[in-house]
Amino acid sequence: MLLSWLLNLAYLALLSVLSPWVLFRIIVQCKDRAGWREKLWGAVAPRESDRPCVWLHAVSVGEALQLQPVLDGLAAKWPGSEFVISTTTGTGHEVARRKYPQHRVIFAPLDFSWAVNRALRRIAPTALVLVELELWPNLILCAARHGIPVLLINGRIGERSFRGYRRIRPLMQRLLDKLSLCAVQNETYAERLRELGADPAKVVVTGSIKFDRIETRRDNPRTAELRRAFSLQPDDVVFIAGSTQPPEEQFALDTYLALRLKHPQLRLVLVPRHKERFDEVAKLVEETYRLPLVRRSQKSEARSQKPEVRGQRSESSGQWSVFSGQTPNHEPPFSILNPPSSSLTPHPSPLTMLPPVCLLDTLGELAACWGLADIAFVGGSLTNRGGQNMIEPAGYGAAVLFGPNTWNFRDVVAMLLTGDAARVVESAADLTAHVARLQEHSEDAAALGRRAQQLVLTQQGATRRTVNLIGETISRHDGRLAKVA
């Protein structure tokens, strides 16, 4: 109890320091407004049944989406059980509610003892399952006091996090000792947890469930719908820049401008990482680069109407004619040797034969969108973000590119590079050069994609192992799930 209240005091001090930033996001930016009763007080609605219940905690969008194969496996194995999904971020909550309408989705309580205790009492879960490495001290300690087994699945601990956790090893050891299972993605993560004090008997390498939820069929219905929405043709070469941060959209646009005259079948799809930037990127395309644009949101909101694109496609030639509302100016001769600047200087009006840039400005569709890509640049890797998930485009057999800053996915990057299944781009100019090379040597691009897809297929199977371990672990503590099976 003393440790819990010391943590409460530390959290309150931190919250007081961060309060101006929190209020700015809520009042000025209109972000993070929802769920504060659940977050601060654990005021979730009480669970009404006494059926077995598994509470799965995922932080944001990526972790929430990863849960799908695990939830499907658990629901199939124990059909009489309930499943509660908690998220920390508003975007993750929104995606989880849309993705799992058959399950209850809540905001996770902040790690104050009173909030997590109330949430645990009201949900009364049979077990608490944490995705990746969400080791919140009060949540784990309070669950243990309630006699609720806590399981870690798809565990990962990066090198930077590991160095930080080593500084507080006594606390980490106490937390890890409360875990009933540590199912991790690879042996490196397993060894790090053991070094931090985890019981070796509880640490199991299962592989990554990320690979099991990866779609590999390009003809799946969701990808086909996006192809129709963006009017993409079979002979188009689709270049997708996904999970991007500024200025990566500019880099992709500059690459597109540099290559489209020589490669008229090239199409560009932009997918910003955060929904707050959708309008900003649309403005960048239309006003700064003076390019036509089609937005996915317009198509999904009014499926019977065509997206607002300033142009039309010729049925006979398959080429686009653009109407910009003014006589188009001629553009400078962009090329690999003379790429356009990535500055925000406005570009001239587009040429008359020009397809629109596509903007995926909806949530939860990036995974399906990667299925359109012939060439895929994974964002957050030419910035300090640390990279984003490159497994999804690899699964579709796209030619995968990413920048050098990918420490969030070191193991995946190492696997792809060792298997000669991806390429690293060092700069905006290097991105242009790589896309040009893949365009000009389509056989090499296809081979690169095939190797990536094969690597993904060989890594699958972690979900089955994880689901079995969850069942075995809970049954040792509480037989209720076993009775449902």
Question: Which tens digits make up the pLDDT trace of 308-360?
Answer: 444 445 444 444 444 333 333 334 333 333 444 444 545 544 444 579 999 99
Domains 29-212+461-484 and 221-458 share a fold: yes
Residues 22 and 24: their CA atoms lie apart, in Å, by 5
Whole-number pLDDT of residue 16:
86
pTM of this structure: 0.70
Question: Which tens digits make up the pLDDT trace of 28-47?
Answer: 777 777 888 999 999 999 99
| The CATH homologous superfamily of the domain defined by 221-458 | Glycogen Phosphorylase B; (3.40.50.2000)
Residues 260 and 290: their CA atoms lie apart, in Å, by 15
Mean pLDDT of the chain: 86
Residue 222: how many other CB atoms lie within 10 Å: 14
Nearest C-alpha neighbor of 91 from the set 242, 274, 271: 274
Question: Which tens digits make up the pLDDT trace of 399-447?
Answer: 999 999 999 888 899 999 999 999 999 999 999 999 999 999 999 999 9
Proportion of the chain above pLDDT 70, given as a percent: 87
Residue ranges of the domains in the chain?
29-212+461-484, 221-458
Confidence bin at 230 (pLDDT 50/70/90): very high
Residues 426-442 as b/e (b if ≥16 CB within 10 A, e otherwise) read eebbbbbbbbbebbeee
Proportion of the chain above pLDDT 90, given as a percent: 66
Question: Which tens digits make up the pLDDT trace of 381-405?
Answer: 999 999 999 999 999 999 999 999 9
In this structure, whether the domain defined by 29-212+461-484 belongs to CATH 3.40.50.11720 is answered with yes
Whole-number pLDDT of residue 44:
93
Whole-number pLDDT of residue 176:
95
**Is pLDDT of 479 > 80?**
no
Alpha helices in 78-158 (DSSP H): 90-99, 113-123, 137-145
